[in-house]
């Protein structure tokens, strides 16, 4: 067995269910490329590369959450705040694919499961919370930090429960699912708090240094249309 | 209004390289939340082989890329753990930025005037 395993390994979930989620992940990533192109311009593209590289780096930093249990950032919420939901999901996927192919972390068979949990579900949950919270909280470094913290905690727990669903569908060992759900949720509340702190410090720093590079500060205007992919008309937007 | 992006990206990459190259050696080596849950219920010997019990990792199979020169966040052939982990981390940051940034650059939206894209700095 590997010394360093951070994602779902091969054989934990059976081949059929893994294949289904591989197909789901592939389809979702195609949609993300399609929708993300609307956001990806000459400035966002290098920024997205940096966000992926940064998430790769921080995922190496396992922090202790319980005796004998550690955790690391998943990064979905952080990516949403900095580069938006579609490109954000692609950033996390990039990291997971590179970790799988080069660093033997997260099984190749399980890649669809890992992408679904961390890049799709984690990012989607983070996005919904960020979009909601930024309608209430001020668009300041502090406001965006609080947003990132809360959204991270919730999104990490939801991502962890997505694994439980996958295990319920195709787990290879007969085990009590309620126990698994409880164990996963408990550990991931703590991991989410760690992730939330890292994400909050990161987005607050970027918001202070270069607010123009924070996607969440450009979008989610209080008067904007509910669909963020369509830029609101600049004229007449008086609150 | 167009501030230099290059310096910010360079600075960000430097921070990422330091985190992956230096701080990573001080990271916890305990199994993470998922791995710990997957091992719960089994007992392990010193070589990490299952000695009894029932747990998720019982049916775990080897990774297809386990012979990768960078497998398990180290560099094959470098025995010094600090160097091995750190260099693999820096390499990972570089590769992720190159591949990720490269793909994003290739699929980006071209030729759009900057007006159709509301820049936050103008109305902040």
Helix H, strand E, coil C: the string for B75-120 is CCCCCCHHHHHHHHHHHHHHHHHHHHHHHHHHHCCCCCCCCCCCCH
Looking at the predicted structure, is the pLDDT value of residue B124 above 90?
no
CA A159, CA B103: separation in Å to the nearest integer? 26
What is the percentage of chain B residues whose pLDDT exceeds 70?
Answer: 86
Contacts of B81 in chain A (CB under 8 A): none
User: pLDDT per residue over A43-65, tens digit each?
Assistant: 999 999 999 999 999 999 999 99
CA end-to-end span of chain B:
12
Contact A209 B8 (CB under 8 A): yes
Partner residue opposite A11 with nearest CB, options B41, B59, B117: B59
**Is some CB atom of chain B closer than 8 A to the CB atom of A134?**
no
Looking at the predicted structure, is the pLDDT value of residue A229 above 90?
no
Q: Does any domain span residue A84? A: yes
- If you count residue pairs, one on A and one on B, with CB atoms under 8 Å apart, how many are there? 271
Q: Does any domain span residue A231? A: no
Q: Does any domain span residue A97? A: yes
pLDDT band at A219 (very low <50, low <70, confident <90, very high): confident
**Section A187-214 average pLDDT:** 97
Looking at the predicted structure, is the pLDDT value of residue B120 above 90?
no
Per the prediction, chain A carries an average pLDDT of 92
Predicted local distance difference test score (pLDDT) of residue B119: 43
Split into its structural domains, chain A has a count of 1
Q: Does any domain span residue A233? A: no
User: pLDDT per residue over A167-184, tens digit each?
Assistant: 999 999 999 999 999 999
Contacts of B32 in chain A (CB under 8 A): 5-6, 62, 69-72, 191
User: pLDDT per residue over B19-58, tens digit each?
Assistant: 999 999 999 999 999 999 999 999 999 888 999 999 999 9
CATH of the domain at A178: 1.10.1760.20
Q: Does any domain span residue A54? A: yes
Range of the domain at A61: 15-218
- Reported as type and span, the H/E element at residue B53 is strand B50-53
Residues 6+ apart with CB under 8 A from B67: none
The single residue listed with the structure tokens 């590289």 is: A53
Tokens read off for A191: 């991991």
**Is some CB atom of chain B closer than 8 A to the CB atom of A118?**
no
**Is some CB atom of chain A closer than 8 A to the CB atom of B9?**
yes
- Closest-CA distance of chain B to residue A173, Å: 6
The ipTM assigned to this model is 0.89
Helices (H), chain A: 15-36, 44-59, 76-83, 85-103, 111-114, 122-133, 141-170, 177-209, 215-218
C-alpha pair distances (Å), B124 with each of A44, A103, A221, B118: 19, 42, 11, 11
Partner residue opposite B73 with nearest CB, options A65, A103, A209: A103
């Amino acid at each position: 067995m590997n010394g360093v395993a951070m994602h779902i390994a091969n054989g934990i979930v059976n081949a059929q269910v893994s294949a289904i989620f591989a197909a789901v992940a592939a389809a979702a990533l195609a949609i993300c490329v399609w929708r993300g192109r609307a956001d990806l311009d000459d400035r966002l593209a290098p920024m997205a590369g940096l966000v992926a590289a940064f998430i790769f780096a921080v995922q190496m930093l396992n922090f202790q959450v319980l005796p004998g249990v550690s955790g690391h950032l998943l990064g979905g919420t952080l990516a949403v705040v900095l580069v938006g939901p579609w490109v954000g999901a692609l950033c996390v996927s990039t990291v997971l694919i590179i970790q799988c192919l080069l660093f033997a972390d997260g099984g190749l068979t399980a890649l669809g499961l890992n992408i679904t949990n961390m890049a799709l579900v984690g990012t989607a949950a983070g996005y919904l919370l960020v979009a909601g919270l930024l309608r209430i909280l001020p668009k300041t470094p502090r406001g965006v930090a609080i947003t990132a913290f809360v959204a991270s905690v919730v999104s990490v727990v939801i991502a962890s429960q997505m694994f439980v669903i996958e295990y319920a569908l195709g787990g290879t060992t007969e085990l009590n699912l309620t126990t698994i759900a409880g164990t996963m949720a408990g550990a991931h509340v703590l991991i989410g708090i760690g992730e939330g702190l890292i994400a909050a410090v990161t987005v607050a720093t970027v918001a202070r240094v270069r607010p123009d590079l924070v996607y969440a500060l450009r979008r989610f205007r209080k008067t904007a249309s509910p669909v963020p992919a369509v830029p609101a008309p600049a004229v007449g937007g008086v609150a | 209004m167009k501030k230099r992006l290059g310096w910010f990206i360079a600075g960000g990459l430097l921070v990422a390289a330091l985190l992956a190259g230096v701080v990573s050696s001080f990271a916890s080596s305990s199994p993470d939340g998922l791995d710990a849950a997957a091992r719960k219920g089994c007992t392990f010997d010193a070589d990490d082989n299952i000695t009894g019990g029932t747990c998720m990792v019982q049916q775990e199979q080897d990774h297809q890329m386990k012979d990768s020169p960078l497998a398990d966040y180290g560099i094959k052939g470098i025995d010094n753990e600090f160097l091995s982990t750190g260099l693999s981390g820096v390499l990972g940051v570089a590769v992720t930025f190159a591949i990720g940034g490269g793909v994003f650059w290739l699929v980006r939206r071209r030729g759009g005037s900057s007006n159709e894209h509301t820049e936050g700095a103008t109305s902040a």
